[in-house]
Amino acid sequence: MQRTDQQFHWCNHGYRDFDAFLAALSSRKRKQIRRERARAVENGVALHRLTGDALRPEHWDAFWRFYQDTGGRKWGHPYLTRAFFSLIHETMRDDILLILAQREGRWIAGALNFIGRETLYGRYWGCIEDHDCLHFETCYYQAIVFAIKAGLGWVEAGAQGAHKLARGYEPVTTRSLHWIPDPSFRRAVADYLEHERAAVDEETMALRGMMPFRKGG
């Protein structure tokens, strides 16, 4: 059985740089993003995009703290170990983009991304200091900057988050396949999925009408 869902992905429409992306947005959304980016760093915060040999154990130590904090605040149990981050550093650091925020010489926030052939996959975020709009800057805008520079076509910033729409991320239909062996349960689920697909299609169409891009652009 196929399940239809929705995520928000950023699409690179041939932008030469971040300003070219902003130019494609409506004036109001363009100003909003510029304000958010300025507010994210107004307390002396500096952003660093790290990949390959630029990554060091100290960066993973910092991100490990962020990851633990996120799991604790969401009443969950962080399932990745510190050894996991060392392992991916050893085996695939050229395919990793770690975006870290620093203030007064201290790492305070970060986002972990994996670099695909055409897509940047954002997967984890955390922080130990709260700063207005820092989440947007670290997870969304810095990812866009990197994707443009690297010539990537997409940024997939993870599930959920209709707030991404205002930041230039487009509603995209996602699909997954499932097998349920019990016939009665399978029929019940199949009926639900049919209604859910219609609802997702309707919502996606409505959201596309709310995209922040300039009309006729």
When pLDDT is averaged across residues 85-91 and rounded to a whole number, the result is 97
Residue 27 covered by a domain = yes
Total domain count, the chain:
1
Cα dihedral: 14, 18, 22, 23 (round 10): -60
Interval 156-175 mean pLDDT: 88
Average pLDDT over every residue of 188-215: 92
Contacts of residue 210, defined as CB under 8 A and 6 or more positions apart, other chains included, come to 165
Section 48-63 average pLDDT: 97
Residue 121: pLDDT band by 50, 70, 90 thresholds? very high
Asked whether residue 216 is domain-assigned, the answer is no
**CA-closest candidate to residue 58, choices 95, 104, 110:** 110
Q: 183: which residues sit within 8 A by CB, 6+ positions away?
A: none
Give 22-43 pLDDT, tens digit per residue. Answer: 999 999 999 999 999 999 999 9
Task: Please report whether residue 215 resides in a domain.
Answer: no
Q: Is residue 34 part of a domain?
A: yes
> Does 214 fall in a domain?
no
pLDDT of residue 75: 60
| Domain range for 193 | 2-208
Tokens of 122: 């954002």
6 near 174, Cβ under 8 Å? Answer: yes
Q: Is the pLDDT of residue 137 over 90?
A: yes
How far apart, in whole angstroms, are the C-alpha atoms of residue 121 and residue 151?
Answer: 14
* Cβ atoms of residues 120 and 154 within 8 Å: yes
**pLDDT value for 42:** 95
What was the pLDDT predicted at 105? 95
Averaged pLDDT for residues 90-95 = 98
> Residue 109 falls within a domain, yes or no?
yes
| CB-count exposure of residue 21 (10 Å: 0-12, 13-18, 19+) | buried
Give the chain as a DSSP string. Answer: -EEEEEEEEEE--S-SSHHHHHHTB-HHHHHHHHHHHHHHTTTSEEEEEE-GGG--HHHHHHHHHHHHHHHHHTT------HHHHHHHHHHHGGGEEEEEEEETTEEEEEEEEEE-SSEEEEEEEEESS--TTHHHIIIIIHHHHHHHHHT-SEEEEEE--GGGGGGTPEEEEEEEE-----HHHHHHHHHHHHHHHHHHHHHHHHHHTT--BPTT-
Q: Is 213 within a domain? A: no
pLDDT of residue 162: 82
Q: Give the global pTM.
A: 0.91
pLDDT above 90 for 74:
no
Please determine, for residue 98, whether its predicted confidence score (pLDDT) is greater than 60: yes
Q: Could you give the CA distance from residue 45 to residue 172 in angstroms, rounded to a whole number?
A: 32
Confidence of residue 77 (pLDDT cuts 50, 70, 90): confident
> Phi and psi (nearest 5°) for 54?
-70, -20
Mean pLDDT score, 166-188: 94
pLDDT band at 112 (very low <50, low <70, confident <90, very high): very high
Tell me the pLDDT band of 73, cut-offs 50, 70 and 90.
low
175: pLDDT strictly greater than 90:
yes
Mean pLDDT, residues 102-121: 97
Which domain CATH number covers 103?
3.40.630.30
